[in-house]
Structure 1
Amino acid sequence: MNIDPVFGADRYARYANLRADAPVERIKTPPGTPGPAELWLVSRHDDVVAALHDARLHLEQPPQYQFGIRTLLNTDPPDHTRLRRVVSGLFTRKRIQSLRIAVQAIADDLIDHLPAGETIDFIERFAVPLPITVICQMLGIPADDWRLFREWTPKIFNTDEESVTTRPAAVAQLIQYMGGLVRTKRDHPADDVTTTVIQNGKDVLSEQELLSTLMLLLIAGHETTVNLLGNGLLALIQHPDQLELLRSDPARTPDAVEELLRYDSPVSHATIRYASEDLTIAGVRIAAGEGLLLALGSANHDPALVSEADDLNVQRNGNQHLAFGQGLHYCLGAPLARLEGQLAFDTLLRRSSEISLAVEPKELQWRISPLMRGLHALPIQLSSIAPAELAATA
């Protein structure tokens, strides 16, 4: 089986077939994907959860697959513990909640500039600039530079032919940019995340680890939220009863965001794990050194997790989805993604009276990526947009 554009559009039906007939299946990765050409795809919820906690599965890449960038995403303890300790205090729930007013102002400003009655690309006009502006402000990066990062990050994550060709240059440009940022903050410390990481990482991180950590914060700080907003809005448009239920009762928004994370997870597969020894999953033998993709999106649609798992239900509570992973590598930025998602959907539904898809669903194009689940574009129309002051009192 291949990860291809069809798999991107119709992955949940194919996941269901895998869970039923081949819960651990050999797959081919797209050409140009860093790592092995073939991996084991694990699709059942209980197997995925067990694998996320299995100490025999390592994130450290075997030497033949390494390409030089070591981050929290591909290291194991004790290095992972050391790296995470440097940044663990930056994304606490209390600290993220202190950003609420700033994130709300960004969301309102973006909506103020959306034209009612015209077709717009929601990804370009809202889903991208919201989290990029937030993370740029946190890192002390000029917000005007967000377009650079939106140009570079898809080339790093996507595996289409063009991205594979341009990936080395994008990585080099991002490293160069972050190096310049570090030099600036060392000379002129500020009240921002970059300065804090530099200070916390002194005598703890190598220069390469410092740059990689900041790069990860920048990329992970916006890329997954872009997909949450795009995938989530599409899901709501395609389920108008759920959209109107949420619009009529904004108090449901936190539960709705959890359901949107489960229903169409921004990260479809966890970072590749490698078996440190021979092991067996669901009766299938995995040889030492072989790689596994843990299908978070499939696990989130497994009836073993929730009943009516293929239905979108914004009233679902107690949602134990795996969109942020689990265990040692649980997503550090989960509180930030939740805050941005809640404010984005609340503001969008509160200030717009009707949201419709401007193309046929079959025309939408999904990114080709073994890890990310997201749209290239989401053309929509907003019938009307209320001023922020009126919407706040409605």
Structure 2
Amino acid sequence: MTDPTQDPRFLQDPYPTYAAMRSACPVQSVATGSGGRTGYLVTGYAEAREALAHPGLSKDTGVFFSGKESPRRLHPAVAHTMLAADPPRHTRLRRLVTAAFTTGAVTELRPFIARVTGELLDRWPVGERLDFMDALAVPLPVLVICELLGVPEDHRSDVRRWSGELFASGRPGLADAASHALAGHMTRLIAAKRLSPGHSLLDRLVAARDGDDRLSEEELVSFAVLLFVAGHETTTGLLGNALLALLRQPAQLDRLRRNADEVPAALDELLRFDSPVSTATFRFTTEAVTLGATEIPAGVPVLVALGAANRDPERFPSPDVLDLDRDAAAHLSFGHGIHRCVGAPLARAEAEIALRAVLTRFPGIRLAAPPEGLERRHTRLVRGLAALPVLV
């Protein structure tokens, strides 16, 4: 069948399409682009969870495109990140980065996150209209990940712009150029840190060791790019999607407004309800794989629709209802298995602090535009808002 994600209506609300596909068959063949290429789209929860951890599904794009003419010209540091690696290489890389990206590092960042959130909210004009994305959801995660990586202040607007261009749907030339600009910047930043070491996460990655093993220069650049992009894009989408969901559900919004201490517990349901990652990154079968009742031949791309899996009624009854009493901890928005998002604790900390502060300081916040007409970002991977007009 044709790729439903190319329909403009899908960007606004993909869930009816996902539900229809899942009802017909939770794993089915779809067109994946021009040139007659096809792959399989997974929309069922059980099948998605299995696919995310299946040893017969590889993420090594270098192997997939070996001997083929790749349609993209991404910089290797972007194309061959830890997300595009299989064990044992993935195991080694994740072990090294986890040694630097600890829970303690996130805990240490909480005062900084709270301070930046407060400073951004101080600029909000009470009683006036503003764009929540521009006023908080975009700058907060960018400032936090730049602080974490040690990106100088005068470089932050450039790296944010390049990161956004990486996800430009239908504009591969722009995304490819952005990948080279971002990788070049991170290469120069790493060189500067070697000359003058500091205390940032990137400095710790430069020094990270596991016995005699350490990250190569190419791996360092790759990690810097991955952590910057993944470290804010998901959180930006989470903040916008979560606030919009609450603004469209006054009873749920009022509940958190009256008891902001419930925000941390509500995050799983907000993540499940409208995942900031719509489709997981590229996988392909290394052998014939059976998911559910569907057999997928070897050498075929597989796209796992995390947002669809999170709305599977077989796993989450009444999935189209935002229910803050639901136990949604099993959602797949951060993935599953060995590739589960290493930055999930940071994203949760930022979302908790930001949403709690917004609801506490601006209890009268409300939508300033019809929700059906809100512009979504034109990207298959990330589900997020281009703008979210609110009155505060």
Verify same fold: TM over 0.5.
yes
Q: Which amino acid aligns with 2:41?
A: L
1:81 to 2:97 alignment: no
**Deviation at 1:26?**
2.2
Q: Which amino acid aligns with 1:57?
A: L
> In structure 2, what is the Cα distance between the partners aligned to 1:89 and 1:246?
35
1:243 to 2:253 alignment: yes
- Residue correspondence of structure 1 range 168-179 to structure 2 within 5 A: 168-179=176-187
Q: Is the 8 A contact 1:30 1:159 kept in 2?
A: no
From 298, 305, 313, the equivalent of 1:303 is: 313
Q: Is the 8 A contact 1:91 1:335 kept in 2?
A: no
SS of the equivalent of 2:166 reads: helix
Deviation digits for residues 153-208 of structure 1 (CA, Å, limit 9, x no counterpart): 121123134xx231222111111110110111000000111111111168533322
Greater mean deviation of Cα atoms: 36-45 or 322-331 = 36-45
Q: TM-score, normalised by structure 1?
A: 0.91
> In structure 2, what is the Cα distance between the partners aligned to 1:60 and 1:84?
15
From 25, 29, 43, the equivalent of 1:22 is: 25
Greater mean deviation of Cα atoms: 13-22 or 344-353 = 13-22
Deviation digits for residues 213-244 of structure 1 (CA, Å, limit 9, x no counterpart): 11101111101000000111111111111101
1:159 to 2:169 alignment: yes
> In structure 2, what is the Cα distance between the partners aligned to 1:315 and 1:91?
31
> In structure 2, what is the Cα distance between the partners aligned to 1:348 and 1:29?
40
Mark the CA change 1:113 to 1:52 in structure 2 (over 3 Å): closer, same or farther.
same
List runs of 5+ in structure 2 lacking aligned partners. none
Greater mean deviation of Cα atoms: 329-338 or 372-381 = 372-381
Q: Which amino acid aligns with 1:319?
A: A
Q: Is the 8 A contact 2:27 2:47 kept in 1?
A: no
Q: Is the 8 A contact 2:278 2:383 kept in 1?
A: yes
Deviation digits for residues 221-271 of structure 1 (CA, Å, limit 9, x no counterpart): 101000000111111111111101011111211111111111100111111
Q: Which amino acid aligns with 1:56?
A: G
**Deviation at 1:279?**
2.1
Counterpart in the other structure of 2:147: 137
Counterpart in the other structure of 2:279: 269
Q: Which amino acid aligns with 2:167?
A: F
1:294 to 2:300 alignment: no
Aligned residues: 377
From 2, 10, 14, the equivalent of 2:13 is: 10
Mark the CA change 1:318 to 1:375 in structure 2 (over 3 Å): closer, same or farther.
closer
Alpha carbon RMSD of aligned pairs, Å?
1.8
> In structure 2, what is the Cα distance between the partners aligned to 1:361 and 1:318?
24
Counterpart in the other structure of 1:377: 387
Mark the CA change 1:137 to 1:145 in structure 2 (over 3 Å): closer, same or farther.
same
1:40 to 2:40 alignment: yes
Q: Which amino acid aligns with 1:254?
A: P
Mark the CA change 1:28 to 1:117 in structure 2 (over 3 Å): closer, same or farther.
farther
Q: Is the 8 A contact 1:267 1:296 kept in 2?
A: yes
> In structure 2, what is the Cα distance between the partners aligned to 1:317 and 1:287?
36
Q: TM-score, normalised by structure 2?
A: 0.92
Q: Which amino acid aligns with 1:194?
A: L
1:103 to 2:106 alignment: no
Q: Is the 8 A contact 2:60 2:84 kept in 1?
A: yes
> In structure 2, what is the Cα distance between the partners aligned to 1:130 and 1:144?
16
**Deviation at 1:30?**
5.4
Q: Which amino acid aligns with 1:43?
A: T
List runs of 5+ in structure 1 lacking aligned partners. 383-394
1:342 to 2:368 alignment: no
Q: Which amino acid aligns with 1:59?
A: K
| Percent of paired sites with the same residue | 40
Counterpart in the other structure of 1:181: 189
SS of the equivalent of 1:373 reads: coil
Mark the CA change 1:325 to 1:317 in structure 2 (over 3 Å): closer, same or farther.
same
Mark the CA change 1:143 to 1:242 in structure 2 (over 3 Å): closer, same or farther.
farther
**Deviation at 1:31?**
6.1
Q: Which amino acid aligns with 1:219?
A: V
Q: Is the 8 A contact 1:29 1:370 kept in 2?
A: no
Q: Is the 8 A contact 2:269 2:328 kept in 1?
A: no
Q: Which amino acid aligns with 2:199?
A: D
Mark the CA change 1:28 to 1:146 in structure 2 (over 3 Å): closer, same or farther.
farther
